[in-house]
Amino acid sequence: MRVGRRSGVGLAAGAQLGRRTPRLDLCAVTTLTPATVPAAVLWDMDGTLVDTEPYWMAAEVELVGSFDGHWTHDDGLALVGSGLWNSAKILQSRGVAMDADEIVDWLTNRVQTMIDEMGVPWRPGALELLAEIREHGIPTSVVTMSVRRMAEQIIARVPFDGFDVIVAGDDVENAKPHPEAYLKAAELLGVDPREAIAIEDSLTGLAAAVAAGTIAIGVPHMIPLPTSEEHTVWDSLGGRRLADLAELVASRTATK
C-alpha cells in the first residue's frame, strides 16, 4: 500500500500485460452461475498478495539510521497504508536529509534488492486463490500504490499468467483512499466496479475499494481491520476458494 506519484507513464501505453485469459465457461463450473461470477478480481499488492511490508520497514530503519536517527517497529507500522511521498515527509522530519523523490527512489530500490536477494514472500493462500480465479478465466488486476517497476518485478514472479493489467501508484493522480486506482482498473478491464471483487489489507485500501463501489474484502496483516457493513473481513486467504467470492457476489446481488 505504498503510494507512488504520477510519473507520466500513460496507462494506455504499457498497462496491459499481454493476452487476456479466456472468460469463464460456466458450463464447466457447476457451483457458479452467471449472477455470482465476479466480473473481475482486483488485488492490492503489498501486504495482500505479498508480505513485503517487513522489507519496507527494514529499509526505513536502514535509511533513518544512515542519518544517525532511530526508527522503531511502531514507527514503521504508522506508515502502513501511507503514500510514499507522505512517508518521505515523515522520514525527513526524523532527520533524513534527502528530498522526497530521492527518498522514494532509495526505499523502492532497497526493497527491490531485498526481493531479488530473499525472494517474493507470498501471503498465505494468495497464489492458490489467484490460480483458481485464472483457471476460470476471470479478469484480474493488481491495484497497488507501489511504483510500477516494483509491481512488474513481483508480478513477473507469479508462476502462471496471473494478471491482465497493472494500476500502480505512478499511474494515477490520487492515491488510496481515493477510488481512482480501482476505477481505473475496472475501466481497463471493461467491467462494472460494482460487479468486481477487491482484496485489501489496510484501512486506506479498503476505503478506496469501497468508494469505487467494489465488493471489498479486507484481509488484515500488519494492522487490524474493523468489521463493517461496507466490507467483509477474512482472517486469511488460506483455504479460500472462488466459491467464497461467488457467495459475496450473490449477497451483493440479493441486496440490489
**Are 203 and 149 contained in the same domain?**
yes
In whole angstroms, what separates CA 31 from the centre of its chain?
28
Domain membership of residue 206 as a residue range: 26-51+122-254
**Are 177 and 249 contained in the same domain?**
yes
Query: Strands 40-43 and 196-200: what pairing?
Result: parallel
**Closest C-alpha among 232, 171, 241, 173 to residue 200:** 232
pLDDT at 15: 45
Which one of 87, 118, 149 terminates a domain? 118
pLDDT at 256: 66
pLDDT at 31: 58
pLDDT at 117: 96
**Are 71 and 196 contained in the same domain?**
no
Amino acid identity at 194: R
Is the bond leading into 159 cis (omega within 30 degrees of zero)?
no
**Are 43 and 139 contained in the same domain?**
yes
Residues of the chain with pLDDT under 50: 1-15, 18-30
**Are 30 and 60 contained in the same domain?**
no
Say if 235 falls within a structural domain. Answer: yes
Q: Count H helices, E strands: the chain?
A: 9, 6
Say if 204 falls within a structural domain. Answer: yes
**Are 144 and 177 contained in the same domain?**
yes
Exposure on the CB side of residue 138, measured as CA atoms within 13 A: 27
DSSP state of 122: B
Say if 4 falls within a structural domain. Answer: no
Number of domains the chain is built from: 2
**Are 68 and 128 contained in the same domain?**
no
> For residue range 118-162, what is the model confidence (pLDDT) as tens digits?
999 999 999 999 999 999 999 999 999 899 999 999 999 999 999
**Are 206 and 79 contained in the same domain?**
no
**Are 113 and 147 contained in the same domain?**
no
pLDDT at 77: 87
Say if 11 falls within a structural domain. Answer: no
How many other CB atoms are found less than 10 A from the CB of residue 230? 12
Distances (CA, A) of 191 to 70, 148, 234: 46, 22, 24
**Are 166 and 61 contained in the same domain?**
no
> For residue range 204-227, what is the model confidence (pLDDT) as tens digits?
999 999 999 999 999 999 999 999
Asked if 11 and 228 count as a contact pair (C-beta separation under 8 A), the reply is: no
Which one of 63, 89, 118 terminates a domain? 118
Asked if 179 and 147 count as a contact pair (C-beta separation under 8 A), the reply is: no
Say if 186 falls within a structural domain. Answer: yes
Q: Residue 158: what are its φ and ψ, rounded to 5°?
A: -65, 130
How many other CB atoms are found less than 10 A from the CB of residue 243? 12
**Are 100 and 190 contained in the same domain?**
no
Say if 32 falls within a structural domain. Answer: yes
Amino acid identity at 232: T
**Are 74 and 173 contained in the same domain?**
no
DSSP state of 50: B
Greatest CA separation for the chain: 63
Which one of 84, 118, 152 terminates a domain? 118
- CATH no. for residue 75? 1.10.150.240
**Closest C-alpha among 207, 246, 253 to residue 230:** 207
Say if 15 falls within a structural domain. Answer: no
Say if 35 falls within a structural domain. Answer: yes
- CATH no. for residue 240? 3.40.50.1000
How many other CB atoms are found less than 10 A from the CB of residue 59? 21
